[in-house]
Amino acid sequence: MSKLFKLKKFVTIEEAAKYLSSSLEESVSLSDIYRLVIDKHLTLSVRLINPEFAVKGQIVNGHDGDWVQLQTDLVTGEVLDEPYSVCINDNSVPIGTNKWFMFDEQVHVVDGVWDLAMIGMESLHIERLYQNEVNGPEPVVTKAQGIYLQQGELVCRLQKEAADRTEEILADIQSGLEFILEPKGISVDDFLSRDSDNLYNDLTDDDIDNVSFLLGLMGNQVDSIACYEDSLGFAEHSCQFVIKTMELARFLQSLDDEPPAIPKIEEELSAKERNTLLTLIGALCNELNIDLSVRGVTASVQAMTELAGTPISDDTIRKILKEVPTAQERRQK
């Protein structure tokens, strides 16, 4: 590693490919970099050259209407002194199976270097770059709309300034007022010309609520409506794809720290030894009150293997747990 490289906090994708080629003593192409990013072996970042607009939030797990506990601030990403519970509702958008982006209502200005979260249009963009390098088909499907960036627990969705829709909004408000007032023989102009004491004469309570809402929009709220909308591509922003030098060091270290392959039970054990081992697993789970029939238990067991430093894939765990005998089957034996 050169002295100049050590001073850099990030490098371009091309520089990263050259550095990995030199470090691994084998050719690493741009398509290799993109594939590593897609497969989540390597984290790609984007440098926002100019400040950009974004909504901020975090990823939560659950179903629509569930209450979840937030441990970090939605805007700063800092750990909260007192966590609080919020409902997955209108301020949340689905980004995967039981995964939601819960966001703050305000639009913020962001800059600097952010990691690609690889859950929205940013994932599709990298897939397109990869397919272009290997002359593959054009991908068209993405998990979630919008471009998602990440700094630790803090996630943002890039925004762009929307076209001025003031006239369109005012026309919609006019139509709404006409829909409420004209059946009662009142024109919008006549209604607006009334004095305040007689303004809502001839209207029901529901009509008054609806008209008051529309008049509020017509007044001082019009300028704040639809000022921003989700970005659909990086071309709408001044930015540069980079890879952090710390991420390159982590990736190289991970290649040296690969865990030993997990031996397959079917190949390493006799039938009797294998059945005994499965029975032992069932007894231990029963003692620890782990119900192997509960949905999601595979993910919990996988997390245990990762904490132990010997990660096992969820497919392998699922296959093994399916063969673990139940308490009743163990008693029958």
- Contact (CB, 8 A) for 75 and 87: no
- Whole-number Å distance between alpha carbons of 225 and 227: 6
pLDDT of residue 141: 78
pLDDT of residue 1: 55
> Quick one: tokens of 279?
């029975």
- Whole-number Å distance between alpha carbons of 212 and 84: 34
Terminal CA-CA length for the chain: 62
pLDDT of residue 265: 44
- Contact (CB, 8 A) for 116 and 37: yes
Instruction: Let me know the angle formed at the C-alpha of 40 by 307 and 10, rounded to the nearest 5 degrees.
Output: 105
- Whole-number Å distance between alpha carbons of 115 and 242: 9
pLDDT of residue 100: 94
Q: What does pLDDT average to in each consecutive run of 10 residues of the chain (333 residues)?
A: 78 96 95 96 97 95 92 91 89 89 92 96 95 92 88 94 72 89 88 82 86 77 63 92 96 79 53 79 81 77 75 80 72 59
* Bridge partner list, 229: 160
**Residues with Cβ within 8 Å of residue 74, at least 6 apart in sequence:** 56, 57, 58, 102, 103, 104
H, E, C per residue of the chain: CCHHHHHCCEEEHHHHHHHHHHHHCCCCCHHHHHHHHHCCCCCCEEEEEEEEEEEEEEEEECCCCCEEEEEECCCCCCEEEEEEEEECCCCEEEEECCEEEEECCCCEEEEEEEEECCCCHHHHHHHHHHHHHCCCCCCCCCCCCCCEEEECCEEEEEEEECCCCHHHHHHHHHHHHHHHHHHHCCCHHHHHHCCHHHCCCCCCHHHHHHHHHHHHHHHHHHHHCCCEEECCCHHHCCEEEEEEHHHHHHHHHHHHCCCCCCCCHHHHCCHHHHHHHHHHHHHHHHHCCCCCCCCCHHHHHHHHHHHCCCCCCHHHHHHHHHHCCCHHHHHHC
- Whole-number Å distance between alpha carbons of 318 and 300: 11
What does pTM read for this prediction? 0.61
pLDDT of residue 328: 58
- Whole-number Å distance between alpha carbons of 107 and 156: 10
